[in-house]
Chains A and B, each alone.
Chain A
Amino acid sequence: MSIWEKRFFTRDRGQGVLHKLWQVPWIFVLLLCGIAACGYVALYSAGSGPEAYASKHALRFGFGLVLMLSIAMVDVRIIARFAWVGYAGGIAMLVLVLLAGNVGKGAQRWIDVGPLQLQPSELMKILLVVALADWFSRATWERVGNVFFLIPPIIAVLLPMGLILRQPNLGTALITGMIGGAVFWAAGVRWWKFALVLGAAAAAAPVAYSHLHDYQRQRILTFMDPESDPLGAGYNIIQSKIALGSGGMWGKGFLQGTQGHLNFLPEKQTDFIFTMIAEEFGLVGGLTVLGLMCLVILFCYVTAIRCKHQFGRLVAVGLGTNFFLYVFVNVAMVTGSIPVGGVPLPLISHGGSAMLTTMLGFGVLLSVYMHRDAEFGPVRE
């Protein structure tokens, strides 16, 4: 009897849907609700009322919760079985977006799926994690040491990276690469191979820089010295830092942020939502949000370490890293620590596609959590 048949016909160990729902880590769901509530408050302020962003945000989160719990019910082995199908689908969407995507801010990133605008590159990160986890879970640590064994997964990482670069979206491509790297790392790829790749990347950086788009170079240059162009590209960073800094310890109060409400803050409902929070609720508000995000990441790693099968472990690490990179890049960007890139703050920023992919990822994570004791077949030597 295949896993498939067992899952759906024999209800092994009595795992009915109700029983499974009982096993959902509700404390984690509560954590997500807490973060989404922060998002609701911030978006309420950004829109000076619930109509503009906050209501939609709550609705999307509710939808996302249903999606997440539905995926959580799916046996992790089924997810593993369809890993490469999903990967192929992701690649297909990336190709599609290049051919027929909507142009936003000078890059093709979106495709319309019914009423939704989908950003395949975001979905691709999750699909890549699942695919890589599937690949590495089948191999022993010894085998992972084999260079030839590493060639297919490297291609699996480089292919979507290349497609995302073509959009062009340097930031997401780099993040995709880093997520892949995290899975490689957790799977046990040797230290020196990472050192080799990083060294090669550093050597290639100047060459790559010369091939960058002007706006990308501008971003890097602006990051180096934001005050050099206070009304142009540096404006966002400067205004964001002013907003953050002026928040102080306790912030200016709900709906009282001058930088946000007087529109000095750019894109305050999306990329700069964290600034809005830190302006109105101060350091306390900013650290609270960061703390909640840390708890989510910790949950990912706890799930990974407690998981009995390599597939689940790698998926959890990959998804944790994905979430971490969202948070890190966004907050580092608004505090002026790294160049500006259009990375939203998960569960808080306004935007349907990001919310959907984030909750989808957490669905997979929960599936791993709930099926942490699932039996996989023996590894290949």
Chain B
Amino acid sequence: MAKAGGGMRGVRREEEQRRGVFTRRALLLGLGQVGALGFLGTRLWKLQMEEGERYATLAEENRLSARLLSPPRGRIMDRNGVVVAGNRLNWRALLVAEQTQDVSATLETFTKIVPLQDWEKGRIEREVRRRRRFVPVAVREFLTWEEMARIEVNAPDLPGIVIDVGTTRLYPEAEHLAHIVGYVAPPAERDVGNDPLLELPGVRVGRSGVERQHDLLMRGRAGAVQLEVNAVGRVIREVERREGVPGQDVQLTVDSVLQRTLRNKIEEGTSAVVLDCRSGEVLAMASQPSFDPNLFNSGVSAEQWREWTRNRATPLINKCTNGLYAPGSTFKMVVALAALEARVVSPGERISCPGYMDLGESRFHCWSRYGHGGVDLRAGIKHSCDVYFYELAKRVGIDRIANMGNRFGLGVDPEIDLPGARKGLMPTRAWRAAQGKGWSLGDTVVHGIGQGFYQLTPLQLATMTARLASGRMVVPHVTRAIAGRPARTDWPTMAVSDRDLRLVRDGMWAVVNEGDGTAHASKLPAGYGNMGGKTGSVQVRRVTREQRERGYKTENLPREYRPHALFVAFAPFENPQYAVSVIVEHGNSGAGAAGPLARDILVETFNRFRTPAGPGPRVAEAQPGGAPGVPAATTR
């Protein structure tokens, strides 16, 4: 019993020892475990309270996907409200990179449905890399119904491809207004800059003409939608929508009907400008050949581009604003005005023209071999006597001629609202000196008849004519600041003596309306009133003495060596409304090629704008029943 009792006591002691150790250790373990969960609690605190805002932002970024909405591009209307650059629907396939695991696999599948060229795939992959993953990239535009149906049917195999309707530019007048309206093209990488709108597929930026000039105005501002998307990018719902600002419409001063008429009258190498000489509005401006701006919509092929850029007739270039020519005899009015202002000649002074003028060793010929006899100012302009203007130039000097030219917009920025219009060149002594060359009296003499270093555009010649006719510093423009607003006519008066202007205009009247004027054949038909004008021909290569002695006839030359033909005119003479300049490249003679064309253009202009109230566009009155302020366009 004792042993058993001792055993029992031993067992109890053993048990107590074991239990003591267990309890200590179990408490330690239990507290440790609760403590560990407590640690996780602090970790939760840190994540949810201290870093909560950061993670909340991340969660929103996960959840929300912003999509930009492209606003419609502003339209371009002609002066009568006819749309000359509009928008039309364009069904296209887009790729949203964040909605597909593998962009190239999707494109591979797409190619089996709608074939893509390798360069197209390259472009798409490049754009995908460049843009944020939720910005859709255009895969193919201008889808046909059949292509769309095939894409829709295969949609499950085309993750990331969405069909979308956008707009594309439509130019109903095509070639007729291309040089003025310009064209649009997808933005280049450097254009994208800060405007998120330009990242959108199908968005175009103006590349030339009015499209470029007023690009920002017409582009509008992008709207945006915030979409809730799930982990694979499927749109769950629209959270917020902010509409964009549609692009503004722009109204041209150009009359599309007159423009079309004008373009149909001229051939390759010809440029012509019709200005309203009171307001400076360009009523028509054409340069042949032209191009179809609609072709830029879907991307111009390399072939087409090469054809345009290698064509020596430069179809992409508006020769009215960018073609540079010497003005020839059309410049003589400026020389006359400079001489009159400097008082180196009086209007009645007769200068003798034997058919040439000798200056030192050199002999300068008049266009008439036999001379004009005694020539005063009026006769000098009427006959376009070269010797008379050699003498005037000799007396007044090149710098004063250039100064007068500048006042008529020659050799200075034409300030027209078209990008890239050329400034041209009015040579001066200082300009020549800057080239390290001297200026001789012979140079001055040659420049007296508009030959030499001059580089002027047809638009500048038209501006010159408008300023001569109106006596005001009209500035040419092709768009109206505010659609429908009457055109501005309160241009400042020219800083040229009114008497001198009248004398010169009188000479221009004689050119056309007197039987022995150089352009008598271009007189306006009965019922259209009178016009004032001036012919001009510009040699494109030097005439040698031998040629001249052999009885040189330019019409016998190959076409590219014949002189350019020029004509400037304004009408009606008594109350000038229109100024016209025409340059026919290699037209041989101003009187023969350019004059009749200018006359026909004026006749068409009168026909177009003649109203019961009399000739001329009614710029300020509203037409009953028509849009307020839109000028009358009816022809009766």
Contact = CB atoms under 8 A, between A and B. Distances in A.
Contacts of B236: 262
Contact of A258 (B30, B44, B62): B62
B380 to A, nearest CB: 84
Contacts of A286: 41, 44, 48
A245 B22 contact: no
A320 B49 contact: no
A91 to B, nearest CB: 26
A185 B26 CA distance: 9
B48 A141 contact: no
A140 B18 contact: yes
A327 B33 CA distance: 10
B160 to A, nearest CB: 16
A287 interface: yes
Interface in B10-59: 11, 14-15, 17-19, 21-23, 25-27, 29-30, 33-34, 36-38, 40-41, 43-45, 47-49, 51-52, 54-56, 58-59
A250 to B, nearest CB: 10
B30 A335 contact: no
Nearest to A247: B48
Interface stretch (B224-232, B345-353, B560-568, B616-624): B224-232
Contacts of A141: 14, 17-18, 21
Contacts, number: 153
A305 B23 CA distance: 6
Contact of A283 (B45, B59, B229): B45
Contact of A310 (B18, B30, B33, B229): B18
Which of A185, A243, A246 is packed against the most chain B CB atoms within 10 Å? Answer: A246
B52 A245 contact: yes
Q: Name the residue in A247, A262, A278, A314 with the highest tally of chain B Cβ atoms < 10 Å from its Cβ.
A: A262
A379 B27 contact: no
A147 to B, nearest CB: 18
A313 B47 CA distance: 37
Given A244-B55, A262-B230, A378 B11 contact: yes
A320 B37 CA distance: 13
Interface residues of B, number: 43
Interface string B55-72: 110111011000000000
Contacts of A379: 11, 14-15, 18
Contacts of A320: 29-30, 33
A286 B52 CA distance: 14
Contacts of A244: 44, 47-48, 55
Chain A interface main SS type? helix
A153 interface: no
A297 B30 CA distance: 7
A17 interface: no
A313 B20 CA distance: 12
Given A259-B59, A264-B62, A298-B30, A245 B54 contact: yes
A89 B26 CA distance: 29
A320 B33 CA distance: 9
Contact of A335 (B11, B19, B40): B40
B56 A290 contact: no
Given A263-B231, A290-B41, A332-B40, A188 B49 contact: no
A337 interface: yes
Contact of B29 (A186, A264, A335): A186
Nearest to B228: A262
Interface string A247-266: 11100000000110011100
B62 to A, nearest CB: 5
B49 A262 contact: no
Nearest to A279: B59
A241 B47 contact: yes
A79 interface: no
A354 B413 CA distance: 85
B20 to A, nearest CB: 9
A84 interface: no
B56 A246 contact: yes
Contact of B26 (A243, A290, A304, A332): A304
Interface string B230-246: 11100010000000000
Max count, chain A CB within 10 A of own CB: residue among B21, B48, B56: B48
A57 to B, nearest CB: 23
Nearest to B232: A263
A301 B26 contact: yes
A182 interface: yes
A78 B277 CA distance: 118
B16 to A, nearest CB: 10
A294 B48 contact: no
Nearest to A252: B59
B26 A283 contact: no
Contact of A245 (B21, B26, B58): B58
Interface string A270-312: 0000000010001100110010011001101100110000100
Nearest to B18: A141
Contact of A313 (B26, B63, B231): B26
A324 interface: yes
Find the residue from B19, B22, B36, B56 having the highest chain A CB count within 10 A. B22
A-B pairs, 6 with minimum CB distance: A245-B55, A246-B59, A301-B30, A262-B230, A263-B231, A246-B56
Interface of B: 11, 14-15, 17-19, 21-23, 25-27, 29-30, 33-34, 36-38, 40-41, 43-45, 47-49, 51-52, 54-56, 58-60, 62-63, 228-232, 236
5 contacts: A259-B59, A283-B48, A283-B49, A287-B44, A324-B33
